[in-house]
């Protein structure tokens, strides 16, 4: 099963991605996590991504597409995967389409997790206090939500047209939302 989790920052993609990964025994591939790890380890990828992440803007497509290509090539991704935070632009989605063709795999579902704007703001403010994620600072949050609207939200139509989109109400408890997703799958 190959899934894409789509949704704004704070929608719960990471939380649901972890649960789905456990339930179905397939890796969750989070580009944000990969970048944060690279940043922590001080690799050249981390250094290249740092200033973009801190500002809350997108890391250039070619950088991201490169790391996803390498990750999908690893053995554990052959039995399926959950993409969290990728693709985030139409260009990335087009690159994924080509990658999928090359590796003869098909995206089964694109799950769009929907949460009202006001609730996203509240959740991200809560996360700033709990997890202390640098890019959850108020200004960066506003920018990330704007970037989502401008660059990522168009993917909803993109995948709807391909018949892959499944919309999930992202308001409720983690269990409730997980239940909604598994019913669809
Ligand atoms: P996330 O944890 O998915 O919210 O990602 C945190 C940050 O990493 C984003 O604000 C971007 O700067 C960067 N990032 C993660 N995934 C992508 C992507 N697919 N394309 C571009 N930038 C990304």
Residues flanking ligand 1, CB < 6 Å:
9, 31-32, 35, 52-53, 56, 58-59, 64, 85-86, 88, 92, 135, 144
Please tell me the distance from the alpha carbon of residue 3 to that of residue 91, in angstroms, as a whole number. 18
Whole-prediction pTM: 0.95
- In this prediction, residue 126 has a pLDDT band, given cuts at 50, 70 and 90, of confident
Name which of 95, 57, 81 is nearest 5 in CA terms: 81
Residue 167: phi and psi, rounded to 5, are -90, 135
**Mean local confidence (pLDDT), 112-126:** 94
What is the pLDDT at residue 128? 77
- In this prediction, residue 130 has a pLDDT band, given cuts at 50, 70 and 90, of confident
pLDDT at 133 exceeding the cut of 90: no
pLDDT at 81 exceeding the cut of 90: yes
């Amino acid at each position: 099963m190959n899934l894409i989790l789509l949704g704004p920052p704070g929608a719960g993609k990471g939380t649901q991605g972890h649960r789905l990964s456990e339930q179905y025994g397939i890796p969750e591939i989070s580009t944000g996590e990969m970048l944060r790890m690279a940043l922590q380890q001080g690799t050249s990828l981390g250094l290249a991504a740092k200033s973009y992440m801190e500002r809350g803007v997108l890391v250039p497509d070619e950088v991201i597409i490169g790391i996803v290509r390498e990750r999908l090539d690893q053995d554990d991704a052959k039995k399926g995967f959950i993409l969290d935070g990728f693709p985030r632009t139409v260009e990335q989605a087009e690159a994924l389409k080509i990658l999928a063709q090359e590796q003869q795999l098909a995206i089964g579902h694109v799950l769009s997790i929907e949460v009202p704007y006001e609730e996203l703001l509240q959740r991200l403010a809560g996360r700033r206090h709990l997890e202390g994620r640098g890019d959850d600072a108020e200004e960066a949050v506003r920018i990330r939500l704007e970037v989502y609207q401008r660059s990522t939200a168009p993917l909803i139509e993109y995948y709807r047209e391909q018949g892959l989109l499944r919309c999930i109400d992202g308001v409720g408890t983690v269990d409730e939302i997980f239940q909604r997703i598994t019913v669809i799958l």
